Structure 1
């Protein structure tokens, strides 16, 4: 893809950060996070190409043969939000019911939440070493034998990638090592895991290549031309931020909210909601210190509902300012301090792919907000969070009989 060979010229803010010696970048605590955010357009091109290689294609084909009755996507934290992003596209494209269920919920309540019958469990993970990851697969291999498993991970040495090599019920799709982010926060791992999951749809190679190249070029333009505006917005005096998304885009909103919460060590209060859901209570939290981030749908019918909500916020004078991300953003609805991130040629038929752009913008906003508050994006929340969740005991109870065990 052409994006790989493009000579990038980042915005002034990004260029200044990159110009510092590596040792100074590490001292300021942003070297890994910045590199991993900015490498995304190139890694997307690589992942899209690899999806047609036997090493990546075979696990995808094996996972869908024979055809499952249900697809369940699982993970923890950011990995769970990848599942939220993917589920609607997989259900629409494959005609198989698909849903995202957090690994923690499967661990404690699998009997009441796992769809019965034959199914496919897709485990999404950067490291594959989180305590819940293998515990869920182990339990379902033993107690839900009609389920097959697909692991998509960035870590070749992680437990999810290595533990089930001899079990024919488990297929493993391993991404390029570059996507195994070193930073505490997931950035390029998130978007590449999401992109890899779309490989289950088995779209024509040329169609995927064009769509990913279009997306990567649009995000690269944001890095090159609009990052300074995002940095300026991140430096404003907001204490709360609301992210809005419709359908699978809510998963991107959840991820963007988590990035802001993690990188600011909780200094910025975050909320992710659907446009239509905001009216049902959460709208009351918007005040003059609230930044509103709206991820706009490329589907005109969905966009109409979103625009209605944004106009209502303007009429009620709710929120400090807003950042909108999408294509063909109407300028007549923008205030003097609002910011629009144009992503040309996004298609509703691209499914989950436009969500990569939404997430990349959310990452950059959180990164600059962290720096503006004097934080270190590579290692926020020192002493509280770790790159991989610390080990905790697995409790068996009485066969995980869900509600009967609560309170024991």
Structure 2
């Protein structure tokens, strides 16, 4: 990546992060086949719930990047999932653990879907234990990258739990969650949208492999803008994805780049004050024919204002002309047999965001595999005390 030799990659302490970004399409293929193999067990688990309850609350939960996976998948499933009786929402473990009675409803049948890379964060286990204590009919789906983690072990012998283990290599060794995020996001989509076809999956993988290679050139071009602040914008599920994109930039650059995120419409309500001639705005263009009009509007507005913020837009190859106002468009290619939706776009947008954050980290001389060697932040969160709940 970036024409770096193996020696340079090792010297810069970027080996894990680079490899874990590049391997993602390969892991998606492995994950797709794993879900396909376990389809009967997944369907049996869900059907049992549907047969028993008329209304089931599905809560996606996690902390940090794992929370953001839930924030992205929730609007995607509300729009695209056809499984009856299920309603979807995302609540972080940090909210559940700190104020459980505000978020967990005793008499509402609930499925807690936990996202966890390591499964060793104290909040992950505590959220499950609180749900068991408070909710009368509570069930669990655990989506984790670590079969030996505390959360996976907790669920081993629970017949109310379905555990889905991600490909082993998705348990990132680097600091930032890259493979783990996209695998867990894809797994949730495949669990609740069984209609995803092998053809679409294969086209996604092939297109993503090509995109990673072309994306490097776009990332290098962005460096000429000389930015000190990055703002990610998007609508719908892609608006939620901006949280993860901003976090990747913040983490891998050790806080040396100011980062912010918002929805395309929400940006006008105060946060536009962040614009300056040292600001780079990156817009994720929606696939929805209605929603994308709001993305067009904010792109035109930013480009036409006297403030000299630079604008880059990620969009499909057939939309590039619609964003001609941007300083740079970064296209991904949607082939005819791919069903274009914001799940597929989220993969391209987050691949770009990971590569962009990595490249700028290298420019600043930060070590991406461990951008916080002083221990200020850690790969697995530390310093959390779980208090007794009665």
State the TM-score, normalizing by the size of structure 1: 0.87
Partner of 1:374: 365
Partner of 2:157: 166
- 1:350-376 deviations in Å (ceiling 9; x for gaps): 452321111111101100010011111
**Alignment CA distance shift 1:235-1:40 (3 Å):** farther
Partner of 2:319: 329
The range that moved more, 167-176 or 255-264, is 167-176
**1:340 equivalenced with 2:330 (yes/no):** yes
Residues 58, 89 of structure 2: 8 Å contact kept: yes
**1:41 equivalenced with 2:30 (yes/no):** no
Counterpart secondary structure, 2:155: coil
Counterpart secondary structure, 2:259: strand
Distance in 1 (alpha carbons) for counterparts of 2:47 and 2:259: 37
Partner of 2:49: 66
Residues 234, 366 of structure 1: 8 Å contact kept: no
- 1:120-150 deviations in Å (ceiling 9; x for gaps): 1100011100110001101111221312110
**Alignment CA distance shift 1:183-1:221 (3 Å):** same
Partner of 2:380: 388
- 1:302-345 deviations in Å (ceiling 9; x for gaps): 11111011111112134532221121234364358423233324
> Which runs of 5 or more structure 1 residues have no equivalent in the other structure?
1-13, 400-408
**Alignment CA distance shift 1:271-1:142 (3 Å):** same
**Alignment CA distance shift 1:64-1:325 (3 Å):** farther
**1:108 equivalenced with 2:84 (yes/no):** no
**Alignment CA distance shift 1:353-1:114 (3 Å):** farther
**Alignment CA distance shift 1:332-1:140 (3 Å):** closer
Residues 211, 348 of structure 2: 8 Å contact kept: no
**Alignment CA distance shift 1:253-1:120 (3 Å):** same
Distance in 2 (alpha carbons) for counterparts of 1:139 and 1:326: 42
Structure-to-structure mapping, 1:51-130, within 5 angstroms: 51-54=35-38, 58-59=41-42, 61-63=44-46, 65-67=48-50, 69-92=56-79, 93=81, 94=83, 96-115=86-105, 116-130=107-121
Distance in 2 (alpha carbons) for counterparts of 1:330 and 1:339: 6
> Which runs of 5 or more structure 2 residues have no equivalent in the other structure?
none
Partner of 2:215: 226
Distance in 1 (alpha carbons) for counterparts of 2:110 and 2:382: 30
- 1:27-65 deviations in Å (ceiling 9; x for gaps): 3110000000001111111211211112x6524641453
Residues 215, 357 of structure 1: 8 Å contact kept: no
Partner of 1:155: 146
Partner of 2:176: 185
Distance in 2 (alpha carbons) for counterparts of 1:57 and 1:269: 46
Aligned length, in residue pairs:
379
CA drift at 1:87? 0.6
State the TM-score, normalizing by the size of structure 2: 0.91
**Alignment CA distance shift 1:336-1:72 (3 Å):** closer
Counterpart secondary structure, 2:319: coil
Distance in 2 (alpha carbons) for counterparts of 1:236 and 1:351: 28
CA drift at 1:78? 0.2
**Alignment CA distance shift 1:353-1:110 (3 Å):** farther
What is the CA RMSD across the aligned residues, in angstroms?
2.1
Structure-to-structure mapping, 1:177-216, within 5 angstroms: 177-204=168-195, 207-216=196-205
The range that moved more, 214-223 or 333-342, is 333-342
Distance in 1 (alpha carbons) for counterparts of 2:115 and 2:47: 16
Counterpart secondary structure, 2:291: helix
Distance in 1 (alpha carbons) for counterparts of 2:73 and 2:289: 20
**Alignment CA distance shift 1:229-1:52 (3 Å):** same
Distance in 1 (alpha carbons) for counterparts of 2:269 and 2:335: 33
Counterpart secondary structure, 2:99: helix
**Alignment CA distance shift 1:117-1:209 (3 Å):** same
Distance in 2 (alpha carbons) for counterparts of 1:329 and 1:360: 19
